[in-house]
């Protein structure tokens, strides 16, 4: 087991706490760079999807996992990003500008949706965001001149500085690069006062206020950042899919995003990557496994949602910290082998919270 002898406060601030971490993350970076030569074209395309979804999930994780504001309308922000990118690109804006614009448009929408969050809490907020998702989906259908309505909208080839990024490998590097930057940004945020303010709001709004945290300001910031990340992912998604239609950004998409985050593990950045990765792997397994099952089961229409539903229930029941929590336990098991005990991660149930202030 690692025992870190700390001699400077900076050691608690640095992103990599010890040599082992630096080593493994360097290995991961190397694997990501080498991936195009190791993986088939199809697998690489799936990995690209994981990268795109990791960016949205990162945004949703900041909002739901760290600030405690559950959104059921995140597909709406994804749509804002995707359509902004498609529209601006068609009007000749270069990607370098249209991508930040997609983030900005989605971010501003996020602020508008975040404003009710200052008044409504918990489930009522989720319902408000749910309504937003429906309204936006309908708006996309209606605004045919910009979105192409139900027929969908074509997205042109992505060319930056003369290089065609529609090619699988180039696009993979673009997505991975942006995803890594977004993750670094989120990590930085979480090790600084803003991130702590988010966590404080999640755990106790009353005492966050009494510590001098401006609830309105930080909740709006969380919504804006979360939506902006979804906007960035949306822009990349548009280029990946090439034709975007309103039904891709429906209620089901929002639910899937939330499920990915919960499966990955609420309250951990790693969870925002584990979630979509797991999702795509299982999806692939279902597609492959279908042929092996008897046709009566394999050809059922609801097979995939059923399986994901069962997985979600199992996660909520047995591993509330999601895949990341499972990984933590496994890692501890290896680190302190053979001294791991079953109850090591059990915590005492929370003490009664003050009911008076609600």
Residues that bind other proteins (CB under 8 A): 9-10, 12-13, 185, 188-189, 191-197, 199-200, 202-204, 206-215, 221, 225, 267, 347-348, 350-354, 356-357
Short-list 262, 279, 280, CA closest to 271: 262
Give least dist CB 257 to other proteins, A: 22
* Complex with other proteins: residue 65 or 73, whichever CB lies closer: 65
Question: Least Å distance between CB 201 and other proteins?
Answer: 9
Minimum gap (Å) between residue 223 Cβ and other proteins: 12
* Residue 17: how many other CB atoms lie within 10 Å: 14
* CB closer to other proteins, 199 vs 312: 199
- As a whole number of Å, the end-to-end CA separation of the chain is 44
- Residue indicated by tokens 């404080």: 200
- When the beta carbons of 189 and 232 are compared against other proteins, the nearer one is 189
Alpha-carbon span 358 to 344, nearest angstrom: 33
How far apart CA 300 and CA 318 sit, in angstroms, is 28
Please tell me the distance from the alpha carbon of residue 307 to that of residue 61, in angstroms, as a whole number: 23
CB of 341 to other proteins, least distance (A): 14
- Please tell me whether residue 147 adopts helix, strand or coil conformation: helix
H helix intervals, the chain: 19-38, 41-60, 74-90, 95-117, 122-142, 144-147, 168-190, 193-203, 205-210, 215-241, 251-264, 269-289, 295-298, 303-318, 322-335
Pick 122 or 156: Cβ nearer other proteins: 122
CB of 341 or CB of 356, closer to other proteins? 356
What DSSP assignment string belongs to 21-63? Answer: HHHHHHHHHHHHHHHHHHS-HHHHHHHHHHHHHHHHHHHHIII
- List the Cα angle 320/233/215 in 5-degree steps: 60
> Is 123 or 184 the residue whose CB approaches other proteins more closely?
184
- Calpha distance 245→86 (Å, rounded): 11
Contact status, residue 240 vs residue 289, Cβ threshold 8 Å: no
Q: Rounded distance, CA 229 to CA 81, Å?
A: 9
**Pick 47 or 222: Cβ nearer other proteins:** 222
The minimum distance between CB 30 and other proteins, in angstroms, equals: 24
User: Which is closer to other proteins, CB of 296 or CB of 352?
Assistant: 352
Shortest Cβ 187–other proteins spacing (Å): 8
In whole angstroms, the minimum distance from the beta carbon of 348 to other proteins comes to: 6
Nearer to other proteins, 10 or 317 (CB): 10
| Distance in Å, CB of 197 to other proteins, minimum | 6
Structure tokens at 149: 């309505």
- DSSP type of residue 64: I
Nearer to other proteins, 89 or 268 (CB): 268
Alpha-carbon span 143 to 150, nearest angstrom:
10
Q: For residue 276, what are its two tokens?
A: 């979509």
CB of residue 175 vs other proteins: minimum separation in angstroms?
20
Q: Closest distance between other proteins and the C-beta of residue 107, in Å? A: 12
């Amino acid at each position: 087991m690692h025992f870190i002898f700390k001699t400077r406060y900076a050691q608690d601030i640095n992103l990599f706490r010890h040599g082992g971490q630096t080593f493994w993350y360097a290995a991961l970076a190397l694997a990501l760079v080498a991936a195009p030569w190791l993986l088939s074209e199809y697998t690489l395309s799936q990995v690209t999807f994981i990268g795109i979804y990791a960016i949205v999930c990162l945004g949703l994780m900041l909002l739901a996992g760290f600030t405690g504001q559950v959104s059921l309308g995140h597909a709406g922000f994804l749509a804002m990003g995707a359509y902004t990118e498609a529209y601006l690109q068609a009007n000749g804006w270069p990607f370098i500008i249209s991508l930040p614009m997609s983030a900005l448009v989605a971010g501003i929408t996020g602020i508008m949706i975040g404003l009710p969050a200052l008044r409504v809490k918990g489930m009522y907020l989720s319902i408000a965001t749910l309504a937003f998702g429906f309204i936006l989906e309908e708006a996309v259908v209606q605004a045919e001149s910009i979105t192409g309505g139900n027929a969908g909208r074509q997205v042109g080839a992505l060319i930056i500085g003369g290089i065609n990024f529609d090619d699988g490998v180039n696009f993979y590097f673009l997505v991975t690069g942006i995803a890594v930057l977004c993750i670094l940004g989120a990590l930085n945020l979480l090790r600084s006062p803003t991130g702590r303010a988010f966590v404080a709001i999640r755990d106790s709004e009353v005492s966050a206020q009494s510590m001098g945290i401006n609830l309105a300001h930080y909740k709006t910031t969380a919504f804006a950042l979360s939506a902006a990340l979804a906007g960035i992912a949306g822009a990349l998604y548009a280029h990946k899919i090439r034709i975007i239609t309103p039904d891709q950004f429906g209620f089901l998409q929002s639910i899937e995003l939330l499920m990915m985050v919960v499966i990955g593990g609420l309250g951990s950045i790693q969870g925002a990557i584990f979630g979509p990765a797991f999702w795509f792997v299982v999806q692939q397994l279902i597609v492959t496994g279908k042929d092996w099952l008897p046709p009566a089961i394999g050809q059922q229409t609801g097979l995939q949602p059923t399986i994901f539903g069962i997985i979600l229930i199992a996660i909520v029941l047995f591993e509330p910290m999601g895949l990341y929590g499972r990984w933590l336990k496994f890692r501890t098991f290896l680190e302190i082998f053979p001294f791991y005990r079953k109850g090591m991660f059990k915590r005492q149930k929370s003490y009664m919270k003050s009911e008076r202030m609600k």
